[in-house]
Amino acid sequence: MTDKVLNGILIDERIELTLHDLEHACACSTEWVLELVDEGVLEARGDDPRSLRFGGASLARALRATRLKRDLGLNLPGIALAIEMLDEIEALRVQLRRIEASDLDQ
Amino acid sequence: MEFKDYYKIMGVPRDASQDDIKKAYRRLARKYHPDVSKEANAEARFKEIGEAYAVLRDPEKRASYDQLGTNWQAGQEFRPPPDWDAGFEFSGAPFTDAGASAYSDFFESLFGGGFGGGTRSRRHAGFRARGEDHHAKVVVDIEDAYRGAARTITLQSPQVDDAGHVSVKRRNLKVSIPKGVKQGQRIRLAGQGSPGIGDGPAGDLYLEIALDTHELYTVVDRDVYLEVPLTPWESALGAKIKVPTPAGPVDLAVPKGTANGGKLRLKGRGIPGTPPGDLYVVAKLTLPPADNEAARALYRRMEKELAYNPRRKLGV
């Protein structure tokens, strides 16, 4: 092991990802990422596939979509629905955590 | 190593049809898939189910597993019989997208070697390609998210040698955690994934941030909540108190009349970012104990002089 500290890039909303980045990270095909865009699971800027740009949040969504397909055998509309509902559950959990955090422990 | 009863894990009888096994897998996967499940042990259970399914879904592997016989009990100390797989022919296609290290030692002892190991190198002969991207999780303290930190992480990855044997290789990486990371965000380390094939470039490593829980602070998105005990006089008269924050103690002006459960917002003192989160101090009133004569005398004086009846509205 070396003592060199590796500096990574934080994937946040200021980061732009390419189609190539996403297909590599998910170990999936270009077509699959484009299908996710068509279904509205991923949002992209640009028209020509080579110039498509994705926000940082797309990485987690693309990974999740790929896992749902691989592990649960969901089809594309099923994945889109599941991800919307999971987003909603997550938003509700955040609200719940806020309420719990503001409440005094007994 | 322990024997694993894959039929029991999947909850199916030994004579279950391939179709029943698939159905059982789907049902269990929906229940324990880490993306959709909030069961405490979802990740471990899902791995176990995935391993059982990897064996039972594949008629070749299932047949050789069945050959071990029915006398084994789950958890029993297990050594594979010599030449247990003699006479079986295996097609080499990889059975799963997951890395070999996702499976137990039991699985590796049975299927780790000749079962499709080595196909990877063969498949890529005379071929140039970028190495695979890898994914891992790193647990980070709230203090690290405020200040940034250097973290040493240990990664395990399966390696297949030329003879097709799978072993787990460990490596340590020292990684800089940038200031302002949020739960679930990823850090991309270029070139730290699998080595490239031929003269192709190496893949990348994505580290997912998991914020560790803290005994004082609760993090919600970028906001941080902290419960702070107050005395009755601080709450009633207002006070200047010191409160801890993950970035170090700060002075807080408690306004007079701060109620129990009241929230005081310290704008921008949450997890750094653009915009940064806020820090919320939740006031918790505490009463001094009346455990000596002087304290009891003070309480009696308040009783006499304050004429305070908190139950007036109840009409009793």
CATH 2.60.260.20 fits B134-211, yes or no: yes
Helix, strand, or coil here: A59?
helix
User: What is the enclosing helix (H) or strand (E) of B228?
Assistant: strand B223-230
* Closest residue of chain A to B150, computed from CA coordinates: A5
CA distance A60 to B141: 21
Q: Do B186 and A94 touch (CB under 8 A)?
A: no
Q: Where are the domains of chain B?
A: 6-116, 134-211, 217-306
Structural tokens at position B7: 């039929």
| Superfamily (CATH H level) for B6-116 | DnaJ domain (1.10.287.110)
Give yes or no for B185 touching A (CB within 8 A): yes
CB-based contact B124:B21 (threshold 8 Å):
no
Nearest Cβ partner for A101 among B135, B173, B218: B218
Q: Where are the domains of chain A?
A: 16-102
The residue among B136 and B98 whose pLDDT is bigger is B136
Q: Do A102 and B176 touch (CB under 8 A)?
A: no
Q: At what angle do helices A30-38 and A19-26 cross, to 10 degrees?
A: 110
Look at residue A52 and tell me whether its pLDDT is greater than 90.
Answer: yes
Look at residue A90 and tell me whether its pLDDT is greater than 80.
Answer: yes
Give yes or no for A91 touching B (CB within 8 A): no
Q: Do B188 and A9 touch (CB under 8 A)?
A: yes
Span B230-258, mean pLDDT? Answer: 96
User: What is the enclosing helix (H) or strand (E) of B150?
Assistant: strand B149-160
Which of B171, B188, B213 is the mutation pick for testing A, counting most A CBs within 10 A? B188
Q: What is the pLDDT of residue B114?
A: 47
Span B43-56, mean pLDDT? Answer: 90
Q: Do B186 and A59 touch (CB under 8 A)?
A: yes
Structural tokens at position A102: 């503001």
Region B217-306: CATH code: 2.60.260.20
CA distance A102 to B218: 10
CB-based contact A87:A46 (threshold 8 Å):
no
The pLDDT tens digits of the residues spanning B279-295 come to 999 999 999 999 999 99
Look at residue B12 and tell me whether its pLDDT is greater than 50.
Answer: yes
Phi-psi region at A10: left, alpha or beta (left = phi > 0; alpha = psi -120 to 50): beta
CB-based contact B200:A73 (threshold 8 Å):
no
Fold identical between B134-211 and B217-306? yes
Q: What is the pLDDT of residue B85?
A: 55
Which of B152, B186, B207, B260 is the mutation pick for testing A, counting most A CBs within 10 A? B186
Look at residue B89 and tell me whether its pLDDT is greater than 50.
Answer: no
Distance from CA of B95 to the nearest CA of A (A): 12
Tell me the pTM.
0.76
Q: What is the pLDDT of residue A58?
A: 95
Judging contacts by C-beta atoms under 8 Å, the chain B residues touching residue A59 are 186, 206
Phi-psi region at A98: left, alpha or beta (left = phi > 0; alpha = psi -120 to 50): alpha
Look at residue B32 and tell me whether its pLDDT is greater than 50.
Answer: yes
Give yes or no for B203 touching A (CB within 8 A): yes
Judging contacts by C-beta atoms under 8 Å, the chain B residues touching residue A41 are none
Judging contacts by C-beta atoms under 8 Å, the chain A residues touching residue B225 are 98, 101-102
Give yes or no for B222 touching A (CB within 8 A): no
H helical segments located in B76-177: 105-111, 119-123, 142-147
Region A16-102: CATH code: 1.10.1660.10
Q: What is the pLDDT of residue B195?
A: 86
Nearest Cβ partner for B225 among A8, A67, A101: A101
Query: Which DSSP letter does residue B221 get?
Result: T
